[in-house]
Copies of this chain bind each other. A is one copy, B any other.
């Protein structure tokens, strides 16, 4: 019984691991934003040679996918056995909360093609009640995707990564809108110049859930 299971401490055991790398990468994104992420800077933060990262992660793109999966994994599974509407609503809220917890990293989830199976648990949680409610599988998938599209679109805006087509709340903007010469824009200017994300989210989600789970 030598302990250590055949892993002699030898020399440069830096304690690096995929998990530690992803955690530090997420912290870096939270602090400095996506544009600031580089393999070299991340290595510096970990006190390690840049090339060491490649022993645990497949390159920069795989690193970003990894961060996305960490975020995705934070979505809580809804309590089983509750009704269709409650389940869908809880999942949507969980998704939103997970993204708003890391707004600068959220675009990684919202804009990347993720191959992972990580996200299948939420899919199951939505699809189950839809099928149980009598939806034929193809319509259930349509419904799932419609809600997902709305979620992605709203969250991109909340996270400041999507076009508002009108404003972000600064004051000069209100004047611009009023003076645009477009009558409807001018009339709605006070509302275009602000965005209550919470209300926006509830409004859209309400429409979709009314249609899918009345």
Using a CB–CB distance below 8 Å, which chain A residues touch chain B? 68, 107, 109-114, 117, 119-124, 127-128, 130-131, 137-138, 140-143, 145-146, 148-154, 156-157, 160-166, 168, 176-177, 180, 182-185, 187-188, 190-192, 195, 199-200, 203-204, 207-208, 210-212
Contacts and interface: CB of A to CB of B under 8 A. Distances in A.
A51 to B, nearest CB: 22
Contact of A131 (B111, B141, B188): B188
Nearest to A177: B120
A192 B120 CA distance: 11
B113 A146 contact: no
A114 B165 CA distance: 7
B146 A152 contact: no
Number of copies: 2
Contact of A162 (B110, B160, B200): B110
A165 B127 contact: no
A68 B107 CA distance: 18
B187 A137 contact: yes
Contacts of A195: 145
B166 A123 contact: yes
Nearest to A160: B113
A145 B202 CA distance: 12
A64 to B, nearest CB: 12
Given A110-B156, A111-B156, A153-B153, A148 B165 contact: yes
A140 B130 CA distance: 30
Given A141-B192, A176-B117, A163 B110 contact: yes
Given A113-B163, A156-B111, A204 B127 contact: no
B131 A184 contact: yes
